[in-house]
Structure 1
Amino acid sequence: MNSNDISKFKQLFINEATTLLNSMEGIILELENNPKDIDLIQEVFRVMHTIKGVSGMYGFDHMSELTHNIENVYDMIRNGIIPVSKEILDLTLSAVDQLFILIDDKDLKDSKNINKQKALLNKSESIITTINKTKTNQQVKQNTSSMVTYNIVLNTPQSIVDRRINLFYTIKDLSEVGEIRAIKRLPVSSSDEERWSIFIVGELDDEIMEEALMFVYEYCIIRKVADFDVFDSEQADKYESELKANDLNHDGSLSPEAFPETEEIATDIKGIEQENTNKSLSIIESIRQNTNRISVDSEKLDHLMYLVSELITTSSQLNLMTNDKIYDSIKSQTEKIDKLSKSFRNNALEIRLIPIRDMVPKFSRLVRDISNDLGKEVEFVTEGMDTELDKSSIDMIAEPLVHILRNAVDHGVELPEERLEHGKEGRGLIRLKAYNSGNNIYIEVSDDGKGLDKNKIYNKALDSGLIAHGEKLSDKEIYNLICHPGFSTASEVTSISGRGVGMDVVKQKIAKMRGELDIKSQIEKGSTFSIKLQQSIAIIDTLLISAERLMCLLPISDIVECVQVSYEQVKQRLRHGTLCYEEKLIPFVSLRNLFELEANTPQQAKVVIINKNDSKMAIVTDVIIGQHQAVLKPMGELVKKQREFSAASVLGNGEVAFLLDINALESSLHSN
């Protein structure tokens, strides 16, 4: 293998290790809330074992050393020797941080990294040494029988398929070291994986078992059930009472009763026949039915989306050009192209978009660490984390959200005693919420802390010369002052943040994404920071409408129905701003009135009823042209200030149509 091949595989390892470590923070934080969850414990063990096994091959020796120690700690946990504790969780999180560092500083050239590595190794070795001494002191005499019984609980997640592991050879390797007496499928909560219990009897020990299972070791829980053949009726009768009476066998291993998932097998153990061949085939068949997954470079996805948008536009042009009867002979083909392009669109969008929940573990860790450092109690909750952003937007929005969350913990949520004095619960709340609206994505960070003091902000701005004496500002304008570079009302700037420190960076980053930041706050109630973003490219089903020569789009998903009224009625109701719909008055917007279009007014108006945020409103226009599959792109600077529009789309005939921003229209109604 040449150096280029080695470099390529090394980079693949780095990519895989980064992906695995990114998943770890969420798993550990979940384990903190569910310390007895064997699946979470097994997942931490699996990740450490996987990184340990490959890192040494590419010269990441320090990484291999650290993961080996953490793996040993979690091996003891998964075998019931020690429980999950805060000490171990803190150690694991620190180890994950160090492993990220070791990806870049694999040879430990930085002295700070060297000291941290030593501290983590000493801490993990201390835990392991203490437990091993305890085990040695508790050991009892071994049974002299040469035959022992092992139980393997084997998980079969998607990653086994991704790594091209053939379980047939695993079963074959086991059968060569001992006699497989039973294989049974165990119940699991997730449909994405299966779990199997395998009993094997023979002259075995831990080393033999680990060697036989070396390719699937990280997916296994391996236990010595007994120091004899439990499938032998005479020996089983002899030791049955001892197995039921104690959680620990006479050899120091845990009995089946200590593991609920194998209890049913243990009670029926005498009647189990040798079904290993059929069961093995069942495992292999279930693996074959799983779908494969691959990783794709984000730049390739960006290019794919460009090609899809061009295809959609060309398909629209083709449909427009073949409306004449002379093209009836190819009509079925053009319709098929249109359907295929829509399917292609949906598939490409799903590939390119990433759910916001992928960022949540990092944010949960951030809130946990800062609140612990400050002695605060904070509950971090999320909502709408299935909301998706394209990869480039995910990368860019991470930094602004980190700044906002840091500020929320540091200067938003109060200390427990301060909250209790103000009649609040000692535990504060920070909420991360995301949702879609048309072509826009909204991400909100809110806290129930002390809120922003408008007077304090205003006076600080006066002292700093940002505003003039007597200048009147709206609440929104006052709150936006905290985004001025260097602006802060904090009496002291902490090592973590200051309300305002870094907010200029937040606003700059969001502006770079063509997004907007909105701040709302109430004293002693808390603050909400809302980020409004546009997808860089979106393709959605819309309704194309027109008023005079203005072409507009409305998302099909927001439309309830379309009705018709006279423009005379519309003129009469303009002063009231409402129309009658289903015996109720609902607010409406007339496109002619909004954009001052006065020429060629028809007698009849078309009314599109919109349902948004659980409330109805109406859009009044001249003509409903029909359904249109729109390729939406952010607007240029010339029309960006037109807040009623959120995106633009080129039609098949070359004209431009604008996507109406329903939220902006709603806001304008309330402000009038």
Structure 2
Amino acid sequence: MSEETDPLFLIEAQHLTESLEATLLDLKANPTDKSLIDSAFRDLHTLKGSGAMFGQIAMSQFLHDFETAFEAVREGTLKVTPQLIEIALSARDHVLDLLAGGSTEPGALLLGRLAALVSGDREAEAQDPGWIMSFRLAPDTLALGGRPEAILAEFRAMGASNIAPILDDLPPLEKMAPAELHIGWRMDLPGAITEDDIRDVFLFNEEGLDLNLKPAGTAGAEEDADISRGDVSSAMAAPPAEATRTSPPTSERSMMRVPAERLDEMMDRVGELVIAEARLAELAARSRDPQLVAVAEDIERLASGMRETTMSIRMTPIETITGRFRRLVHDLTGTLGKPITLEIEGQDTELDKTVIEKLSDPLMHLIRNAADHGLETAEQRRAMGKPEHGTIRLSARYSGAEVIISLSDDGRGLELEKIRARAEDRGLIGPDTNLDDDDVRALILQPGFSTADAVTELSGRGVGMDVVKRTIEQLRGRIDVDSEPGHGTRIDMRLPLTLAIIDGLLVEIADERYAIPLAAVEHIIELPDDEVGDARTTRFLNIRDQLVPYLRMRDLLASKGVPGPHQKVVVVTAAGLRVGLTVDRIIGSSQTVIKQLSPLHAALKTFSGATVLGNGSVALILDIPQLVSFGQTLDSREAA
């Protein structure tokens, strides 16, 4: 492949594998859906043909038998079974390995499993109880260039299930040597595999190998595999799930894939164009030259259209990252032994692509945390009168200038007394610290905090939730925790629609200009004369028979001077709450290019960024969610 066609093929292959994974997961739940069967066949056929065209012969040959199998499914001579879906998902993972330059050996084992399934030999395999195996490699395996992940990949291709790490010999962190291997693994293997097949996998790792292999059902077999079940993906035991789902085109319109770097560059150029257009408009207004004013208006119209088009290109639906979550829950169900259902709402909700890209890892952690800590086992749920299947729900919805993304579960919920006790043990709070329930729940977001009784590879070290919080705050968002004991936990993440350009309302406070996101503005009213001289920071206005608190921005910003007689109140909303902001003057609306604050000023929660005005001066952008939260807090204190 040439340097030009290679990335194009890889992008196309990524898209097809994402689509195939999503279709296979849907097909597992609806095994007789002909449209899903046809979709899986098309993805396999296209992937095979593209691979042959671009020189990926090994991949093309590997996919040939899978295409034939799904052709048999289309013709009705082969049924869709959970075993077929599992083998096909492993094949999809093997394709990604091949594209990354991985070994072809696991593919031969997968094709053998597929042939056994298609020919009906699966029945004989099911009658054999199979094997329970645990093993540890020599501690110097990594130092000698050994690859445990390659061994695990081979066993996955042979049909291994319930793969989990053995952590009982893991030393304390301060004594751990990075080059030493302290983890073992335990797994179940199908009976069709011989002992010689198993030992062949360890052909180059026999020295120092500790292998325990027993037939399933043998007395003591389970006891010999003493493990701590955990995050198999972290211990190199789960199939790679980096790919995101992108829905296949639903229309015949032509599509073009563009590298993200080009979109970022175009967005930067449009931002500079908006700033230049604002400068031109101000110069034209000062000159009062009709021709220059007309040209400035044309440039403003064109710049506005360019901005809207560019923004629409950058906006990406949540659906582009939910595919990997479905696969994650599918894998966690087997890893944890808990039946879990993932429900997703609002997949068409759009966010800036930068926000979407950075959301993936926090959501992955929250889902793993909900599955491991939040949801009970099937036996526990039955005893509590709950359905055996635990439910994790991911939803997204618009709220003014924000998008609210919620991750909830119907598990055991948070134990506030246990959280507080653990926080005191860790020195995060003192025994006499006065905290309400919301403050106690927020403790789980602190660095190093964990209520887990045992550390697993999945969670328990207290290094996850604070990372989630930090990522959300870096995106100018905020995170809230709500929970009801016995009924589950909900994490709400409130994020701005875009990090690039917004429509802003330019206002003046004490001779300084500030920008307010226009999407958050609900009303603009005159401040009543009897309210002008009041010295309190917050008061209330009766707006359409509702009392709305308002903040005196001059006092909040510690501005000098005395406010004029005709102050305005800009009523803004966030998270369903309203607060008024008093300003001296309304200047007008403008396209606002968001510039991030320097690290020195990033801690100022009142502002979310800055923008350059037409005259070259800088205006700070007010952080509406923070101001609304602050106003509501003052409101509550006054009421108390």
**What is the TM-score when the length of structure 1 is the normalising length?**
0.68
Give the Cα–Cα distance (whole angstroms) in 2 for the partners of residues 584 and 611 of structure 1. Answer: 14
**Residue 460 of structure 1 aligns to which amino acid in structure 2?**
R
Q: Give the secondary structure class of the aligned counterpart of 1:323.
A: helix
Task: Give the superposition deviation at 1:521.
Answer: 3.4
Q: Is the 8 A contact 1:48 1:70 kept in 2?
A: yes
Corresponding residue to 1:322 among 284, 298, 322: 284
The aligned residue for residue 231 of structure 1 is none
Alignment partner of 1:542 is 2:477: no
Aligned to 1:135: none
Residue segments in structure 1 that go unaligned for 5+ positions in a row: 109-113, 133-286
Name the SS for the 2:459 alignment partner.
Answer: coil
- Distance in 1 of aligned mates of 2:324 and 2:278: 42
> Which residue number corresponds to residue 19 of structure 2?
23
Q: Distance in 2 between the 1:508 and 1:626 partners?
A: 34
Counterpart check, 1:83 vs 2:73: no
* Paired amino acid for 1:297: P
Please tell me whether the aligned partners of residues 60 and 107 of structure 1 are also in contact (alpha carbons under 8 angstroms): no
Instruction: Report what 1:47 is aligned to.
Output: 43
Matched, 1:117 2:79: no
Counterparts of 2:595 and 2:497, CA distance in 1: 8
Q: 2:422 aligns with which of 448, 457, 460?
A: 460
Query: Does the residue aligned with 1:324 lie in a helix, a strand or coil?
Result: helix
Letter aligned with residue 289 of structure 2: Y
The equivalences for 1:350-361 within 5 A come to: 350-361=312-323
Name the structure 1 match of 2:118.
128
Q: Which residue of 2 aligns with 1:419?
A: 381
Matches within 5 A, 1:453-492: 453-465=415-427, 470-471=432-433, 478-479=440-441, 482=444, 487-492=449-454
Q: Which of the numbers 572, 576, 588 marks the counterpart of 2:550?
A: 588
**Structure 1 counterpart of 2:206:** none
SS in 2 for 1:578: strand
Q: Matched residues in 1 for 2:14 and 2:6: separation?
A: 12
The answer to whether the 8 Å contact 1:648/1:656 transfers is: yes
Would the alpha carbon gap of residues 481 and 664 (structure 1) be closer, same or farther in structure 2, given more than 3 Å must change? closer
Residue 366 of structure 2 contacts residue 407 of structure 2 at CA under 8 Å; is this kept in 1? yes
- Identity, in percent, stands at 34
For 1:520 and 1:340, locate their aligned partners in 2 and report how far apart those are by CA, in whole Å.
46
User: Equivalent residues in 2 for 1:508-587 (5 A)?
Assistant: 509-510=471-472, 516-533=478-495, 537-572=499-534, 574=536, 577-587=539-549
Contact 1:547/1:623, CA 8 A, preserved across alignment: yes
User: Which residue type is aligned with residue 294 of structure 2?
Assistant: S
**SS of 2:12 mapped into structure 1:** helix
Q: Following the alignment from structure 1 to structure 2, what is the Cα–Cα distance between the partners of residues 33 and 533?
A: 33
**Correspondence for 2:219:** none
CA distance in 1, matches of 2:552, 2:333: 50
Q: Which moved more, 1:342-351 or 1:23-32?
A: 23-32
Deviations 1:162-195 (A, max 9, x none): xxxxxxxxxxxxxxxxxxxxxxxxxxxxxxxxxx
Report 1:47-446 matches (<5 A): 47-108=43-104, 114=105, 116-130=106-120, 290-324=252-286, 326-435=288-397, 441-446=403-408
Q: Is the 8 A contact 1:371 1:377 kept in 2?
A: yes
Equivalent of 2:605 in 636, 643, 655: 643
Q: Which has the larger radius of gyration?
A: 1
Which amino acid letter does the alignment assign opposite residue 32 of structure 1? K
Instruction: Check if 1:671 corresponds to 2:633.
Output: yes
In 2, Cα distance between equivalents of 1:590 and 1:511: 26
Q: Which amino acid aligns with 2:120?
A: T
Over residues 531-559 of structure 1, what are the superposed CA-to-partner deviations in whole Å (9 max), with x where a residue is unaligned? Answer: 45557742122221122223222333333
Contact 1:487 1:500 in 2 (8 A): yes
| Corresponding residue pairs, total | 508
Secondary structure of 1:635's counterpart equals coil
Distance 1:559 1:461, change over 3 A: closer
CA distance in structure 2 between the aligned counterparts of 1:79 and 1:540, rounded to whole angstroms: 53
- C-alpha separation between the residues in 1 aligned to 2:496 and 2:76? 50
Q: Which amino acid aligns with 1:126?
A: A
CA distance, structure 1, for counterparts of residue 320 and residue 372 of structure 2: 24
Query: Matches of residues 26-37 of structure 1 in structure 2 within 5 Å?
Result: 26-37=22-33
Separation in structure 1 between the aligned mates of residue 529 and residue 392 of structure 2, nearest angstrom: 49
Paired residue type of 2:559:
L
**Residues of 1 paired with 2:579 and 2:430: CA distance?**
41
Task: Determine the C-alpha separation between the residues in 2 that align with 1:353 and 1:329.
Answer: 36
Higher RCO (C-alpha 8 Å, min separation 6): 2
Partner of 1:171: none
Could you tell me which of 624, 631, 634 is aligned with 2:596? 634
Deviations 1:598-640 (A, max 9, x none): 5131112212333554554433222111111111223223433
Moved more, 473-482 or 309-318: 473-482
- 1:517: Cα distance to partner? 4.6
Amino acid at match of 1:650: V
Q: Could you tell me how far apart the structure 1 residues matched to 2:436 and 2:524 are?
A: 38
- Report the 3-state secondary structure (helix = DSSP H, G, I; strand = E; otherwise coil) of the residue aligned with 1:585: strand
Q: Which moved more, 1:336-345 or 1:522-531?
A: 522-531
Cα 1:665–1:463 change in 2 (3 A) is closer
Q: Against the structure 1 CA distance between its residues 468 and 333, is the aligned structure 2 distance closer, same or farther, given a 3 Å change threshold?
A: same
What letter is aligned with 2:339?
E
Mapped to 2, the partners of 1:337 and 1:28 lie a distance apart of 50
Indicate conservation of the 8 Å contact 2:538/2:550, yes or no.
no
Structure 1 or 2: larger helix share?
1
Tell me the alpha carbon deviations over residues 53-92 of structure 1, each in whole angstroms, 9 at most, x when there is no partner.
2324555344223321221121122223333322222222
Secondary structure of the residue aligned to 1:640 is coil
CA contact (8 A) 1:438 1:661 kept: no
Runs (5+) with no aligned partner, structure 2: 123-248, 635-640
| Matched-pair contact (CA < 8 Å) for 1:565–1:604 | yes
- Partner SS, residue 288 of structure 2: helix
> Relative to structure 1, is the Cα distance of residues 571 and 383 closer, same or farther in structure 2, using a 3 angstrom cutoff?
farther
Q: Aligned-pair distance for 1:359?
A: 0.5
Verify the 8 A CA contact 1:542 1:556 in the aligned structure 2: yes
Does the 8 A contact of 2:97 with 2:103 survive in 1?
no
Letter matched to residue 72 of structure 2: M
Instruction: Supply the distance in 2 between the matched residues of 1:564 and 1:319 (Cα, whole angstroms).
Output: 28
- Which segment is superposed worse, 298-307 or 23-32? 23-32
- Listed one character per residue, the Cα deviations across residues 255-295 of structure 1 (whole Å, up to 9, x for unaligned) are xxxxxxxxxxxxxxxxxxxxxxxxxxxxxxxx9x9432211
CA distance in 1, matches of 2:452, 2:72: 47
What's the CA shift string for 1:465-493, capped at 9, x where partnerless? Answer: 55555555565665555456665332233
Change (3 A) 1:52 1:131: farther
Tell me the SS of whatever aligns to 1:75.
Answer: helix
Per-residue Cα deviation, 1:7-42 (whole angstroms, up to 9, x for no partner): 543443222111211222222222333333322211
Q: Secondary structure at 2:267's aligned position in 1?
A: helix
| One-letter amino acid of the counterpart of residue 608, structure 2 | S
Cα deviation for residue 347 of structure 1 reads 0.9
Provide the alpha-carbon RMSD of the alignment. 3.2
Question: Which of 600, 615, 619 in structure 2 is aligned with 1:653?
Answer: 615
What's the CA shift for 1:325?
A: 5.4
Q: Contact between 1:62 and 1:106, CA under 8 Å: does it hold in 2?
A: no
Please state how far the C-alpha of 1:453 moved relative to its aligned partner.
2.6
Amino acid at match of 2:68: N
Amino acid at match of 1:602: G
Which amino acid in the other structure matches residue 566 of structure 2? Q
Moved over 6 A (4+): none
Counterpart code for 2:628: E
- Does the 8 A contact of 1:483 with 1:507 survive in 2? yes
